Structure 1
Amino acid sequence: MSDSGDSDVAWTYYKDRPEWSDVTPVPEDEGPNLVVVIAHSDKFVDVYDYFRAVLQNNERSERALHLTKDAVELNPANYTVWQYRRDLLKALGTDLRSELEYVELVIKNSPKNYQVWHHRRVLVEWLQDPTQEMELTGDALMQDPKNYHAWQHRQWAIKTFGLYEKEMDFVDNLISDDVRNNSAWNQRYFVVNNHLGWSDLNVQREICYTLEKIKFIKNNESAWNYLRGVLIHDKRGLTGNAVVTSFCEELYKNKCRSPYLLAFIIDICDEAVKKGEVNLLHSATRAVALCQALAGKYDKIRSKYWNYMCEKFKKAAEQEEIDREAANNIDDE
């Protein structure tokens, strides 16, 4: 769907159609001082000149509705065309089921167009019938698992009409196909957060699920971010969940130096310092060493950030050293 209509062999310009002879086309007014002139095709100019005319006259007719379809074909992202089409659908009492079929075809040709997805949403709201939305968005996401507009529409339909039942299976299949699919991880969080809830059982289940995925690919930012999101809902925090801390330390012990693992251990150290629960593994001193390793070797692209964090932890590490010396002096006495 683009400005390429001059190749249409059977196309008849609106200006040559007898049934449109009563309409005076309205040319585009681009102002007196043009900087860049867009080279539209003759077909584009013809269609939009007549579209502006019917819009100006606020014409409510079947021919105007058909005209909007031609205008959409040439520019499916034109908000004004879609809004006028919705006004016509209401005024003419058009069969909305047939409109759903039409919009599905437009989506298949222009799957990342916000305006067509918005039009679809309005139709579903009018009909109060979401029965086709899971399949439609599922098909779109099979073509492109990271299609933001499809995910947005799917989340809206699920939340509005309570369509959560099979969503975790759908998400799990996507993650199994591509464990780095950040959109699928986000959808998993959406389902738990809005439907299943963060009971302790669900929190621990999600932790175990995520750790298994990290075992599979340790350098997977999506899974590490999800783990952080889940642990927000664990009342024990990062330092208090022995399953997570033991998992991280085991990876580190086995020479894993994923920047996401090191960053996660730094977060554990940071929480331990703030809680006053410093130990041999989790301290500001260790955080300093990890920040230096990230800045100098494992995450050089963000070296400035890690150097900044290093300076922050150095102050806490100095205090740890003072406290350690004080404790040793007490023991000596």
Structure 2
Amino acid sequence: MAVECAQDAVPPLNSISPDALRCLIRELDRSGYRFVTTTPASHAHVVARQGRQQAGSLRDIFGWGLPFDRGQLVPELFASLGDARIIVERDRGVFASRVRVSSACDTLFLHSAYPTLAQDAVFLGPDSYRFADLILARMAPLGRGSRILDYAAGAGVGGIAAASAQRQAHLTMADINPDALFLASINAAHAGLDADTVWATSPAGVEGMFDLIVTHPPFMIDPSARAYRDGGDLYGARLSLDWMVAAAAKLVPGGRLILHTGVSIVAGQDVLRPQLEAALAATEYSLWYHELDPDIFGEELATPAYADVERIAAVGACVTRAAR
């Protein structure tokens, strides 16, 4: 069994045996495992509390990411996860999981372990739960043979939420991160869905037209320019704007695009909405736009990049193409 390796020798997530990951998520599901992922700031507070230095449960190991010893997993599971490099030895006799497992939409999702600092981290957090709720509230019924695209799928929460509610439709998940596509495909299969995965740098790069497109772009100003987090210029809203415009062109007549993102509010003004309204003016598309949460990631306002931002709001937008 090969759990005793240096952290920098661990292979990428997409080289892990998918069978081992399927086994892990299946066994956790059978055990009744559930875990809701918090913001990174909340996570840091919880794991820093007294008595949280070592795991005492499966939720501690695969949710909170606490270190554990081999006796805390059944031998067969410990051996399987170790051989697959899903768990690695961080210190002599102390192990940690390289993946996190969270519950959402009545199923379980594999994603990156805390802290999500790597450029290719596969993120799932509170925004993912809002995103799924928005999709279920705003999507229209889909007929047999309809196509759903989850662009920038990450762990696949948005697309899996949509396709689970409309099982007669076919799901395609696209992302620039091979690790995300790898984990999302396992998550979709665990949810009982047959989904395609596509590597793409823009919605325009995904072949075909779609009845429903869902997307949750990165929206933060990130000095490290991490792909899952950095939204570009326009105070982090550039990708939200560009992806909405590109994705709208991929809708069939009557098709719908649903976006969840975060927007900086500067001098009382939403920096994204007027740009999006201008881009869609005098076109065959109609826009619904709503502020879902007026104040998220408030700790970011203490950083230099947000010096003139008064708040960051979570917003939802829905673009519908006119039926012919």
> Which structure has the greater CA radius of gyration?
1
Kindly indicate which of the two structures has a greater share of residues assigned to strand. Answer: 2
Kindly indicate which of the two structures has a greater share of residues assigned to helix. Answer: 1
Both proteins in one fold, TM over 0.5: no
TM interval, shorter chain, is under 0.3
Considering Cα pairs closer than 8 Å and 6+ residues apart, tell me whether 1 or 2 has the greater RCO: 2
Return the TM-score normalized by structure 1.
Answer: 0.26
Return the TM-score normalized by structure 2.
Answer: 0.27
